Chains A and B, each alone.
Chain A
Amino acid sequence: MRKKTDLPTGVKTRKKKKFTLDDVQLFFLSLPTVIWYLVFCYLPMFGLVIAFKNYRVAPGKGFLYSLFYNSKWSGLDNFRFLFANNKATTLNMFRNTVGYNIIFIILGVVLPVTLAIMINHLHSQKLAKVTQTAMFLPHFLSWVVVGYFVFAFLSTDNGLVNRTLQKLGIDTVKWYQKDAIGYWPFFLIFLHVWKTIGYSMVVYLSSIKGIDASLYEAAMIDGATKWQQTKYITLPMLKTIMIIMFIMAVGKIFNSDFGLFYRTTRNSSSLTSVFLTLDVYVYNSMFNNPRPVYGYISAAGFLQSVLGCLTMIIANAIVRRVDNESALF
């Protein structure tokens, strides 16, 4: 152990003496990006201190002044608010965020892998290409646009669904109101799958295409059925990419696709309990609340960042233990 750590540091210090011309040039070449990272990624990280402050904006003064001179430390008060006074909402948003994500993660592995394997079996390459391209389309659309698509179907007065129900003599439903609340979890799950499946299918399909064809030939000669080939060749070969996609998804378990929850539901207040995720809570309390309390919002944001980071590290550690090769970092 000693030997292992000593050697590289020894090498490092020897190297450090010389900062070559090359290094200087490379440093300047990368300087703009480094500045971008410091300003737009690292500064906000320090902004998380707001969670432990009773943040008050000092009018006419800068952010740093407001933060350090105008705002008192408040310890864990902001968190206490989230879990005591605001308990119902907090539980609701954590349940939604994590719950939807778990469903998304499971579907996000099972469905695209299945479809990728199936589409790879199609006899007509042309049909495979055309359908794959069509299924990729939703990935390129924004949630705003998708929100309008949904509205075209679900609008209470003119929507296709209600007009069809009318024709069939069935009672119409006010889709964006309280009585439709039971349908929305399914709508949201469907929309998520609809928008992401083309993308993930392509990721898995390109891995499948990379598998050596001779493996399948050998298996076939040995009399393996299609199912056996899939089970013993394709799936094991996809393992690494599946694990990578899995870790990335698990690391984002406290994040939510804001547009999905906010735009497709039109932020309808009677549906809030179905789509209130952490991101929606933070956004709504910042922009749709006349008197936002920054401390509480930041506390929610802080939990999101820290818990997300922890889950990512834990997921990766577990994968590393099971199969070192597949770990992400």
Chain B
Amino acid sequence: MSTVSKSAKPASRETGSGMERFNAIRPGTNAAYSTLFILLALLCIIPVIFVIIISFSSEDSIGKVGYSFIPIEWSLNAYKYVWHLRNAQGIPTVIMAFLTSVGLTVAGTCLGLILISTMGYVLSRRNFKLRGLYTMLIFIPMIFHGGLLSTYVVNVQLLGLKNTYWALIFPLCCSSFYVIIMRTFFQTSVPDEIIESGKVDGANQLRIFVQLVLPISLPALATIALFLTFAYWNDWYQASLYIESKMQNMFPLQYLLVNIEKNIQYLANNDMAMSASSDALPTETMRMAIVVIAVVPIMFSYPFFQKYFITGLTIGAVKG
């Protein structure tokens, strides 16, 4: 509660002309609001902490007191066994999935940035002949879509993407929402003079785009990159559609989580499962350990990137 009492000094408000101190809410109201928000914040964080605690509990403790904030015995066994889950090549399954997730995220984000930024730039050029047509091209998918079945049938039967990494990359790499954010940014933040000066110097559009426009558009690029990064990192849905369960080596981390829900034994490849007698596997805590491995990178990175998200959201909310 120390934050609350300290904050009762209205002078701590940085913004405004000084008038605001007279317009602030009463200290009592402030205390009530503060308490409410502290509770809401806890509500959002506690599940993560809970899962972390479970992953460090011993299987014994879970048998006795269940999933608990105060386990009777701590243990690193879950992580040890997760490390010992190996695939046929002897690589830890979790490391494999982690690397797959990282690879997909990097590749998808790069490809997405190229597709989105070029389209955003082209749409921002006011005298481009096909601008009207392109606007429709971008707009229609925002209100109408083919649905899961026809998308699936096209991707699998026409494009042959089943059990390929492309199936996990292509469907997520571009979206009209991102294109519009990018276009709006180029329209409002890149002065026409820069592009004109490039043309006067005889540069073609590709050069203008790469050498003049992109370097001054880093904030918008960062925003889009982050949207894409989190979308790829958290994706399990595409994998559940396009990767068959026998293709274990292709699982991204999130899809590994889906599968171990059904059966963790199934992921333990023969020899390794033998050496650790199968009853001894701390399955309950192992699941939670993998959840922690998937969540921790996000948890520690998003506070730093939050502001780019907010920029993106506010640009995106400007209607096109």
Which residues of A are interface residues toward B (Cβ below 8 A)?
A: 15-16, 19-20, 22-23, 25-30, 32-34, 36-37, 39-48, 50, 57, 62-64, 66, 115, 118-119, 121-128, 130-131, 133-138, 140-149, 152-153, 155, 157-160, 162-163, 194, 198-199, 202-203, 206-207, 213, 216-217, 220, 226, 229, 241, 244-245, 251, 258-259, 263, 266, 279, 282-283, 286-287, 294, 297-298, 301-302, 304-306, 308-309, 312-313, 328-329
Residues of A within 8 A of B22 (CB): 220
Query: Are B204 and A25 closer than 8 Å at their CB atoms?
Result: yes
Query: Are B137 and A34 closer than 8 Å at their CB atoms?
Result: yes
Interface size range on B against A:
35 or more
Q: Which of A22, A44, A141 sits near B298, CB closer than 8 Å?
A: A141
Query: Are A148 and B291 closer than 8 Å at their CB atoms?
Result: yes
B36 proximal to A (CB < 8 A)? yes
B83 proximal to A (CB < 8 A)? no
Residues of A within 8 A of B19 (CB): 217, 220
Question: How far does the Cβ of A102 sit from chain B's closest Cβ, in whole Å?
Answer: 20
Please measure, in the bound complex, the distance between the C-alpha atom of A286 and the C-alpha atom of B147, giving whole angstroms.
12
Query: Are A159 and B66 closer than 8 Å at their CB atoms?
Result: yes
Query: Are A40 and B298 closer than 8 Å at their CB atoms?
Result: no
Query: Are A47 and B209 closer than 8 Å at their CB atoms?
Result: no
Shortest 5 CB-CB distances between A and B: which pairs?
A47-B150, A44-B146, A124-B7, A301-B147, A63-B157
Q: Which of B4, B30, B151, B209 sits near A29, CB closer than 8 Å?
A: B209
> Nearest residue in A to B14 (C-beta to C-beta)?
A125
Q: Contacts A141-B298, A297-B149 known; A217 to B17 CB distance under 8 Å?
A: yes
B141 proximal to A (CB < 8 A)? yes
Q: Which of A45, A213, A287, A312 sits near B15, CB closer than 8 Å?
A: A213
Please measure, in the bound complex, the distance between the C-alpha atom of A57 and the C-alpha atom of B317, giving whole angstroms.
43
Q: Contacts A22-B205, A305-B145 known; A213 to B17 CB distance under 8 Å?
A: yes
B200 proximal to A (CB < 8 A)? no
Query: Are A33 and B147 closer than 8 Å at their CB atoms?
Result: no
Query: Are B33 and A122 closer than 8 Å at their CB atoms?
Result: yes
Residues of B within 8 A of A298 (CB): 147, 149-150
Question: How far does the Cβ of A285 sit from chain B's closest Cβ, in whole Å?
Answer: 9
16 intermolecular pairs with C-beta atoms under 8 Å apart: A15-B129, A26-B205, A32-B114, A37-B174, A39-B159, A43-B154, A48-B146, A122-B34, A123-B9, A124-B12, A137-B299, A145-B254, A148-B291, A160-B66, A203-B314, A279-B148
Q: Which of B13, B141, B206, B291 sits near A41, CB closer than 8 Å?
A: B141
